[in-house]
A = this chain, B = another copy of it.
Amino acid sequence: MKNKSIIFTKRPKDFPTNENFSVQDDIVPVLNDNQILLKTVYVSVDPYLRGRMNNVKSYIPPFEVGEPMKSTIVAEVIESKNKNYSVGSHLYGMLDWKTFQVSDGTGLFPIPKDLAPLSSYLGVLGVTGLTAYFGLLEIGKPKENETLLVSGAAGAVGITVSQIGKIKGCRVVGIAGSDEKVDRLKNKFGLDAAINYKNNKNLLNELKTACPNGVDVYFDNVGGEVSDTVFYLTNNFCRIPVCGAISQYNQPTLPVGPRNNPFIISRRIKMQGFIVFDYSDKYLEAQMQLASWMKEGKVTLEETIIEGFENIPDAFLGLFNGKNFGKMIVKI
């Protein structure tokens, strides 16, 4: 049995490429007492990982050059010297990009058998779904009949936010990067309107048509020029959960843009950043709610699945080219 790792070899200056990673062969480790051997089943790739590739102190430590990459992974226990973990059971949590690895279980969460698809613990029931849930409900606080505008609406978080917005009775408008995504958001997910920001039309005019009553909640996954335009549509007391800024992640320095303070002041806008970990004491409650919405078909598991361990870097890089609809996952 051979083991493989994906090593972080070089910090990117702007857009990451395959040059930043290398695949290494390794031995499969031998277990000590109390340890379990995990086989990677599904690997989550997420935009926020780009931030960890910079050597910057943040809410989560940066990746170390020469060490394996990490992300949230669903793994199967294939050998166990720890009585709490039985062979054949599944766990998820922050793990190395390796086909096999040892753990004592610290920081990993057990996956209940047959409750929901395994990959959903990287999507709706995982960090992605929880991010959508807490950002929208705790900061955005959407009310019935309000307009919720979502940027990056076809992304993993965006699509869940949009669906929760519909459950809460909002007019939901999505912004995405292709006509195909826009069609799917409207026709499969029932968004009231969706706009392809790359279609060379006037985004402000399109947003005005799509949001005739202005914007009450703007769930922002992208930042940059799209968000600059949205400011013109904000209603008084608009809430902006600032979830991501994918348009900026590959810029070597902070890009510049209009200073939007006059909007923030005169329209009493609240912009608030958040990290899902801050709500960890409420995860279980949120997962139960999300699982129940999934069961009722109100929130669906939307995934783009890439196969093969060696393709993890490509799947990750694809996030910055809009390759995914919903959650991007690699199946090993």
* Chain A contacts to B: CB under 8 angstroms: 51, 58-59, 220, 223-224, 236, 242-245, 248, 254-275, 278
Contacts and interface: CB of A to CB of B under 8 A. Distances in A.
A242 B223 contact: no
A59 B242 contact: no
Contact of A242 (B58, B264, B275): B264
A244 B265 CA distance: 7
A136 to B, nearest CB: 15
The dominant DSSP class at the A interface is mixed
Contacts of A223: 259, 261
B273 A259 contact: no
B275 A271 contact: no
A256 B254 contact: no
Nearest to A236: B59
B273 A272 contact: no
Contacts of A266: 51, 58-59, 273, 275
Contacts of A256: 256-259
A242 B269 CA distance: 9
A216 to B, nearest CB: 15
Contacts of A278: 268
A162 to B, nearest CB: 20
A248 B262 contact: yes
Given A264-B273, A265-B275, A254 B258 contact: yes
12 contacts: A51-B262, A223-B259, A245-B259, A245-B261, A254-B259, A254-B262, A256-B257, A256-B258, A264-B273, A266-B273, A267-B273, A268-B272
A221 to B, nearest CB: 10
B265 A245 contact: yes
Given A254-B258, A256-B259, A257-B259, A271 B265 contact: no
A223 B265 CA distance: 11
A134 to B, nearest CB: 11
A243 B269 CA distance: 11
Contacts of A258: 254-256
A223 B260 CA distance: 10
B268 A271 contact: no
Q: In the complex, which of the residues A242, A263, A265 has the most CB atoms of chain B within 10 Å of its own CB atom? A: A265
Contacts of A220: 261
A248 B266 CA distance: 13
Given A245-B261, A259-B245, A270 B268 contact: no
Contacts of A264: 242, 271-273
B270 A271 contact: yes
A236 B60 CA distance: 13
A245 B59 CA distance: 29
Nearest to A266: B58
A296 to B, nearest CB: 31
A59 B269 CA distance: 12
